[in-house]
Amino acid sequence: MRKRVLFNLLVLFIFSNIALIFAIYNHLSQIKEKITKEIYETRLREFETYLKGEKLILSGIADYIANAPCVIDAYLHNDRNELIRCMKPLYKSLYEKHLIEELHFFKPLAVSFVNFANLKTYNVNFSKIRADILWVSNSLISSIHFYVCRFYPGLRVTRPIFYKDKLLGSLSFGVHIKHFADFFKNVVTKDVVIYLNDRSLRNFLRKDRYKEFEKYPLYKGFRVIGKVYPIKLEEGVEERNNLVFTKIRLEDFFKGTFAFLVAVDDISWELRVEYRNTLLMFFIFEIIFGVIFAVFYIIFRNIYNRFKEFENITDLIRDKKFEKLPKLEETKVTDRLDLFKFKLVKLGEELKIYINLLTKEAEYYKNRAYIDALTGVFNRNFLEEKGDEIFTKFKLQKIPVGVIMLDIDNFKRINDTYGHDVGDLVLKSLAETIKGIEKTTT
């Protein structure tokens, strides 16, 4: 029984540990998912905030330039040189501060007027490759979008230029996509990578500019500016080897995939902290389980020993070894089990007394069965049942033994003449006489 109970306790302890390990594993998985989700949501908010700020800056610069008097006069007088003279200092200042990448003025609908990236080229129709300029000229609505122009991929603003509700032309400028990577490098713990749509680069960039991008590795149809990570190119979040990839899809003017901006965060440190705390919690639970197991074992061992003691007492009572029973006065009562033991010992003492009385009574009745009640000598039953045993015993001990048999003549006449009481006196007197003779001979 003891081994069986110990085995059950051990099995319970093992299964509890297995369940605890599974719970901890699930807890760690949930922690990793939580950290991944928090980082993903944080990076999205940061990107949206930065994008909103960039759009406000670009929109503000575009409004300022489009409403500048010198720009209006240059368009009204079709004077390129005037436009260059009034805008070149501003362009140079904005370019050096990395607020814009280039500045291009168009006449309706998409004819180049002044391109500060190439002042020698003008009066060229870009309607086939600058759909955004054509759309702005037709819709008369400003647009801020990701676009691959002839010089670079980036975020562009296109704005119509009006004078007294008359469309004079449009302007376009923007920032390189690398500016977004530069921003995220200040907040991301590991890396920032841009996956640019190679098809768009090949179709819209000038050949000399596209060659600059050909040096970047190609991954699933995207030119990778930065380290190539074998991730799925789809919007969302991905976690691999404690690296969290926040994948932001950038949509171009045509609603296609312009690029994927991928922020890479290393969550190893956060996971180490969580793992350490979780392991600490695991060890605390292990200590608690160990203490509980030890307490249960001590309680069981105590109960087992007590019941084993009860079993020994019952065995002593059963075997009538009453002298080996604990002393009643030495049995201390401190709990209900001690009380049960006390009652068990007391019961043994009472049984001892009762059995002794029964033994004496049995001896008494046994003697009455073998001894004549009137004379006190052995009767015929004793001779028939014990005779062989007694003769054999004395024979082995070489002690002479004999049986005296007397026949009283005319005893019936005594009974009939003087009565049975007198006859009984005669029998008693005769028995005493014989006993006296037997004592003197021994």
Token readout for 308 is: 């084993």
pLDDT value of position 211: 93
pLDDT value of position 274: 77
HSE (CB half, 13 Å, CA atoms) of 413?
Answer: 3
Distances (CA, A) of 288 to 25, 149, 274, 278, 295: 19, 67, 21, 15, 10
- State how far the Cα of 403 lies from the Cα of 395, in Å rounded to an integer: 14
Distances (CA, A) of 100 to 55, 65, 261: 12, 13, 20
- State how far the Cα of 400 lies from the Cα of 82, in Å rounded to an integer: 166
**14 contacts 246 by C-beta, under 8 angstroms:** no
pLDDT value of position 3: 66
pLDDT value of position 6: 64
Could you list the mean pLDDT of each consecutive 10-residue stretch along the chain, which spans 442 residues? 64 69 73 89 92 92 94 93 93 88 89 88 83 86 90 92 92 90 79 94 91 93 94 92 93 92 90 79 78 80 79 80 72 75 78 79 67 73 72 76 74 75 76 71 56
Domains of the chain: 190-266 (no CATH), 278-353 (no CATH), 371-441 (3.30.70.270)
pLDDT value of position 438: 60
**246 contacts 265 by C-beta, under 8 angstroms:** yes
pLDDT value of position 105: 95
- Identify the burial level of 219 via C-beta atoms within 10 angstroms of its C-beta, where 0-12 means exposed, 13-18 middle and 19 or more buried: middle
Q: What is the pTM of this model?
A: 0.63
pLDDT value of position 329: 66
